[in-house]
Chain A
Amino acid sequence: MGTSILWFSAFLCVLIFSFSLQRKSHNLAKNLIYANLGTLFIGALYLGYQFLSDNFSFVYIFQNSNVLLPTFYKVSAFWAAHEGSFFLMIILLSSCAVINNIAMKESRYLSLSNSVIAFILFFYLIFLALTSNPFMIFEAAPLNGSDLNPLLQDPLLVIHPPMLFAGYVFYAITFSFVIAGMFTDFDKELFSIIKIWAGISWFTLSLGILLGSMWAYYELGWGGYWFWDPVENVALMPWLAGTAFTHSLIFSKNKVLLSWMVFLGILTFLLSILGSFIVRSGILNSVHSFASDPSRGVFLLSLFALFSLVSLGAFFFRSNFLHSGWPKFMSKNYLLVLNNIILMTILTIVFLGTLYPIYYEVIYSEKFSVGPKYFSELITPAVFALIILFTLEQFPKILSMDKLKASLILIAATAIIFIINYFNMGLLLSGIFLATLILKFILDLLNNESVRLHKLFGHLAVVLLTFSVLLNHEFSKNIDFKIKPNDKVEFMGTSLIFKSVDVVPNKNFDSVVGTFEVEDKGRNFNIISEKRVYKVGSVITSETGIAPYITKDYLLVLGDRYKDGSWSVRYSIKYGIMMIWMSSCLLLLSILYGTIRRYDY
């Protein structure tokens, strides 16, 4: 039944696509869009019901669920693996199409956008039905499932993947309107539609990335929040392109570099497909697993190639009609263009660092990885260039000087970046910029000048984030040692007492719970660190014990038990983690506020 739902929905998409292109049948197309969402929704309810009733004759449910699994995770197991998350993405995409049709009844861009979305949906559905069907059934039903991956049994990871996918889906909607504009024309109405969708997509994708980062920090137990792992990088790439895209909307409003904005809109969408496909298809982690299931990988690559060809082809043929001007030297728009260039540079750095090893392995069948130093060394100066740009932008008087002086300032800024990079003074510099921006903000408030809150706080958040990341990088330390219960260890001016260790049974896992007491300059608190052994598959996970404070976090990971009753323990002090989360939240709030404010632009 489920598979036929997918095929029926794909058939509806063909109808929507062709009806949307004909003026006479627009209304019919709209009704079919509602019907399509209804169809997919029935499919989702059907699959969800099978999860709740433990029907392990479905291959997907067998792989990702278990009788012992708590109900909450039975529901979230729906999107725990490739098939289900892709299905969820399709449902989201068609819901967005419905929202569009309800919210803007008479827009002349709507039908073009509808047909673009139907085009994308059609291929997604074909892909789902042919290579990753969540409704596939065993001939003989197993009695019990093989359990949801324990690492995924975490509330953060229940919302992180759908959030990321929602970000990708929203960028597809933004893309559909950019394409619509390319074939009609970009007027005020279309700009406000694109701005809202671009803002929503940007917000959702950022939130998705932040949640993933938090999950890595709390669940993986390495005390890190970003590893420059390929899986993370492919989510960062559309985010970078999307950031450039949102900024390019500001200058292209005056028809400055309009075709560049269109190009970025297309690029963001293409990168999001690359991301959403790569993460789950296993291309990145191992080329061998890619070869073991060639149908999925080949299908994905051809889909990516098809979307790229169609959208970039349309872009090159239509771009003559997009009248574009160049911005004036050192004007506000000029700085925005520079911002775009730097963001594109960062994107190129991430892109090459992520995909070059894969390319090399396929061609020369030799494996290597690109170290995190590659990313941090190249991206840090680029981020400082961005910070200097938007700080400069706060001082319009400097910018209105004559050309010679202005170019001298640009050259000086470049020199500063090279110097800090050489002497490792990033922390100091980001502190200075932070202070400058805050001072300027206070002065503007005192002088009753109008302040764009979302812009100012967004930029402040970026500087604060840079500051905290550098703080974390410079001062965080950890130590591995063996300790017996009731013993004491001194580290970085703090003392640690191993108070007790107990075994606690749970519904689907047993856990070893270690209790530690930390004393740091009169501050006294307990940290509980856990080690879980899951009953199905006997997989072991660590629940890192974390005591978070504004400037630093105290982390404890319980290791192994030795014969003499002692335990190996990793104790770390991490600086600035709370500040990283707080500045990211500030950034998110600024994006959200900016998006809402633009509504009546």
Chain B
Amino acid sequence: MSTWSRNSALSASALLLLVGGIALAFYWAPEDADQGFSQKIFYIHVPVALTAYAFFAWGAWKALRHLWTRGERYDLESYTAIHMGVIFGLLTLATGSIWAKISWGIWWSWGQRQLVLFLILFLFYCAYFMLRFSTDVGPARANLSAVYAVFGIVLLPVSFLAIRLAEGFLHPVLFERDGPQMTGEMFVAFCVCLAGVLALAAALYANELTGKRIDARLRELREALA
């Protein structure tokens, strides 16, 4: 499949799935008994969060491929995945914060484990960019980025465990949302939204990767012509 046709297919399916999913979420799925209308944020917040996790995992996988095979494409693919992961992580923090505000009246609560985890990951992966920007282009930078990306994916579950343990002595105000007592309709709407967000993410990823590749090629050209 050529780049154009693949990107078009991704964008088209993202459009259909996302519009369809959100429509299902608002017009078809019933309102949550406990949380009321504010639960509707769930249909965008959770897919975005899961997509961010997926990007970090994808970035770590590409990083491992780079370290194993030193294939040329993996460094840029890993970098792009983490770049998109940070964007979606930011979105997770934003939507989660809004959900917290409407649910409990505060923008931030250390009791929300997911958001605290995303905050730590956000800091970690922002440092990834600092690492890349402060190192000269070359195999060394690719190796360092790859190792750091692998550290990130190991840090993810370790941090989550740590955050849970921290509640033992921090006693944050643990706001509990009633667990997913999702009806069938809610679940279907959620799945369509999830598919839509993933498709959107894939489309953005493909575009970003192409852009980064062109950037790299142009730099090579410039050096060759100079």
Binding between chains A and B:
no
**Residues on A facing B (Cβ under 8 Å):** none
**Residues on B facing A (Cβ under 8 Å):** none
